[in-house]
Amino acid sequence: MSEPFGVRLRTQMERRGPLCVGIDPSPALLTAWGLDDSPAGLERFSFTVAEAVADVAAAVKPQSAFFERWGSRGVAVLERLIPALREAGALVVLDAKRGDIASTMAGYAEAYLEQGSPMAVDAMTVSPYLGFGSLAGTIATAHANDAGLFVLARTSNPEAALLQETVADQIFEGVAAANEGAAGLGSVGVVVGATLDKVGHPLDRLGGPVLSPGLGAQGASAAAVARLFSGVRHAVLPSVSRAVLGDPARIRSLTERYRDECVRHLRG
């Protein structure tokens, strides 16, 4: 990769529209598709979604947990899926939410961010709740490999509100510092749920992208995302999963619909 993740993401959102599609092969979705809840069903589901969206969405976000639950067989599917998505032109954001002490985070960074790793992605989600400083080495690895990070900041699950509101300022400040000096959009972003009533913290000095899950099945609309992030619309990447994954025959058309709505509201 010859350009930093933030630059590539900004280009991709301009070219394809600001939308990320999750690949969430949950047992419920596998069953709804008439597939076995097995590594074979996992593979069929994942590559069907990839074929439908990888050349339409700016980014695709596999949920690592649904692959890991099958052990080495599931991880092997993920290892094949990542390069297939990237070869089709999508940026791959691994939803892994890794967060640990610095030495352990170095291992995760090597696995998912270093060029040449069999599971190297464009960006991954990380947790800052062992202290933002625990991410310093991971941030350095991301920068060295033109990769990106999305740091959990204000997620949409209700049980997170009290904790996250207490420390969100520190997270946003840490991300802003990590993006200092970046040309264009920085490569370290935050995760902020699209279903929140308000963020409660200024994002205009963040310098990096905002990954915003919750579009569709969780109740958020593209119009709501535009209102929530009115000052940083250019940096927001809304994410949709269940709303486009329920019917395998309509994945592409639904993705295009959500993409077009995001373009209309976030660029208007």
> Which of the residues are catalytic?
97
Calpha distance 129→115 (Å, rounded): 26
Neighbours of 118 (CB within 10 A): 12
Are 110 and 99 in contact, with CB atoms under 8 Å apart?
no
Calpha distance 201→206 (Å, rounded): 10
Residue with tokens 């902020």: 192
Q: For residue 85, give Cα distances in angstroms to 23, 48, 94, 176.
A: 11, 11, 12, 29
Paired tokens of 171: 């997270």
206: Cβ–Cβ under 8 A, 6 or more apart, which residues? Answer: 172, 175, 176, 179, 186, 189, 190, 232, 235
Collapsed DSSP state (helix, strand, coil) of residue 221: coil
Burial class (CB in 10 A: 0-12, 13-18, 19+), 49: buried
Radius of gyration of the chain (CA): 17
